[in-house]
A and B are shown apart, each in its own frame.
Chain A
Amino acid sequence: DAGITQSPRHKVTETGTPVTLRCHQTENHRYMYWYRQDPGHGLRLIHYSYGVKDTDKGEVSDGYSVSRSKTEDFLLTLESATSSQTSVYFCAIRRELDGETQYFGPGTRLLVL
């Protein structure tokens, strides 16, 4: 499992409320990623981080922000949740000792009503 946990695992919220998802890793990897998974779209990159305080946007970053204040935690925030952000969110790390291999966390199911 590459020591990756995500919290919460399930969340139901209302449109317009802020939501923060947490990804935690125990192996000190530099790279961390947030993806969303929707039927018919596969996995789409939201944001990623290549070190503490170093983050960059992916292909579907609108409406999302991230923060990484310490190596082990990567936070994804929906400032004002919308129904289109209902999805399954996966965090991933890149294990550079294995080359480029990415390993995924267990996922967070988010429902925005």
Chain B
Amino acid sequence: GENVEQHPSTLSVQEGDSAVIKCTYSDSASNYFPWYKQELGKRPQLIIDIRSNVGEKKDQRIAVTLNKTAKHFSLHITETQPEDSAVYFCAAQKGRQFYFGTGTSLTVIP
């Protein structure tokens, strides 16, 4: 299969600061890496993704970086706002399956 590890499990930042969440994967055959945001009681929502042939992708305040050699990818949120508070999941796709990290609970303190 594939083993995806995510750190940290909880993260608190002051409003306006940056937040970084890191994930590692084990199988070099994984080739697609989405990130999801899940608010309490809601479904996971895709916020950004990256494919294995790209090193970095940015969408406004959110960016994802991928290091294929080291098998790790990271989510960067700049200028955090209270509405960024949620649980964030990374995932890796290998073949037909997706493998998820265990989540990071982000709290943005006003």
- B-binding residues in A (CB < 8 A): 31, 33, 35, 40-45, 48, 50, 56, 58-59, 90, 99-107
Contacts and interface: CB of A to CB of B under 8 A. Distances in A.
B1 A59 contact: yes
A50 B49 contact: no
A40 B102 contact: yes
Q: Which secondary structure dominates chain A's binding surface?
A: strand
Contacts of B61: none
Interface string B74-110: 0000000000000001010100111111110000000
Nearest to A103: B46
A45 B100 CA distance: 9
A72 B97 CA distance: 20
Contacts of B99: 45
Contacts of A58: 97
A90 B38 CA distance: 12
Contact of A105 (B1, B43, B97): B43
B16 interface: no
Contacts of A100: 32, 34, 49, 93
B51 interface: yes
A25 B10 CA distance: 34
Contact of B46 (A40, A50, A59, A101): A101
